[in-house]
A and B are shown apart, each in its own frame.
Chain A
Amino acid sequence: MAASSDSLADILERVLDKGVVIAGDIGVSVVDVELLTLRIRLFIASAQTAREMGMDWWTNDPFFAPNAARAELGTTDLAARVAELEARLPAPGGREEPR
């Protein structure tokens, strides 16, 4: 049996892909380099917005339904870049969408 080894790839796979989701966080469920980049862009978007919105951003703000968030962020250059990346993916973030 191959020895147990937690490489950087293993760490990235787990750390970036899973964990408790907080409402308003936009998640991406698949790991590869393209998506890593996307994930980070989303992170920057959500961190930036968190600061703008103050401390309640994850609880009772309908603004933060993923779709609404995308529409609002559409005014920023960053969001445009996120959208461009998303357009290249099959069903982006589908797992997280409220139906």
Chain B
Amino acid sequence: MSTGNWLCAYAITRNRPSSLDIGPVPRLIGYRDLGVVVSEVAPARFDRIDTLDPVDGTLAELAREHDAVVRAVFRSEPVLPLRFGTVLDGEDAARRLLEAGYDQARDCLDEVAGHREWGVRIRHTEPAATTRPDATGLTGTQYLVRRRERLKAIQRAREDVAGAAGRLEKALRRHAADSLERARSHGVLANTAYLVETGREAAFHAEVEWFARELSAAGATVETSGPWPPYSFTDVELGATANG
């Protein structure tokens, strides 16, 4: 039962402790050929988490920690990151987690092995359509013609960017094993995660660079992030069947 400390679980990986460079803390708990990476966590650490600034407080600290552990495992073994904030009550619980999700977890590990995740984000900020041309010295007709031309130019740029963005995404999907649209914030035209086999990363990035030039000419920017552990491609539910 409860030890007073919970086990914070970070990731499922292969049960090969000798290949992992994660030290004594965190540690690997094994079940058959799978293992879950955990560390002891004092409940008190989470007490004030919801009252602190999410950008620079305990949440950021814990998220960085989670990411650091997942990455440490990912450097040597394929990894299934567990949802942030997964808490287990002791080592037996960790083993039961692996037992319950054994087949699903092993299949998913095989799928992501040898792949890394890359994020590609396209930003495009249009000039505001509401800005008006300077009317000084223009007749009414000239003014309206200018205004229409300006709106047309904005529309044309929008189409150019959308076209190039579509071609980029299509090209990247050819090099990726999987892709997933992520949430887009304001001004972001596309935010996609790609699961790329390491052997195809060079071709993938050559494609990004090629289209980045075209998009840049049309007024958009392309940002990449990564390589990431396959956070976006481990959308499996363990224990779901046991739950009925």
Contact = CB atoms under 8 A, between A and B. Distances in A.
Interface of A: 1-2, 4-6, 8, 10-25, 27, 30-33, 36-37, 39-44, 46-47, 50-51, 54-62, 64-65, 98
Taking chain B's interface residues, is the majority helix, strand, or loop, or is none over half, making it mixed?
A: mixed
B165 interface: no
A31 B66 CA distance: 17
B96 A56 contact: yes
Contact of A8 (B6, B60, B108): B60
Nearest to A5: B225
Interface of B: 1-2, 6, 12, 43, 46, 49-50, 54-55, 59-60, 63-64, 66-67, 70, 80-90, 92-93, 96-97, 100-101, 105, 108, 119, 182-183, 185, 208-209, 212, 221-226, 228, 231-232, 234-240, 242-244
Q: Which of B63, B101, B232 has the most A CB atoms < 10 Å from its CB?
A: B63
B85 A40 contact: yes
Nearest to B209: A1
Contact of B83 (A19, A50, A61, A62): A19
A16 B83 CA distance: 7
Contacts of B231: 14-15, 17-19
Contacts of B82: 19-20, 22
A90 to B, nearest CB: 13
B87 A50 contact: yes
A77 to B, nearest CB: 12
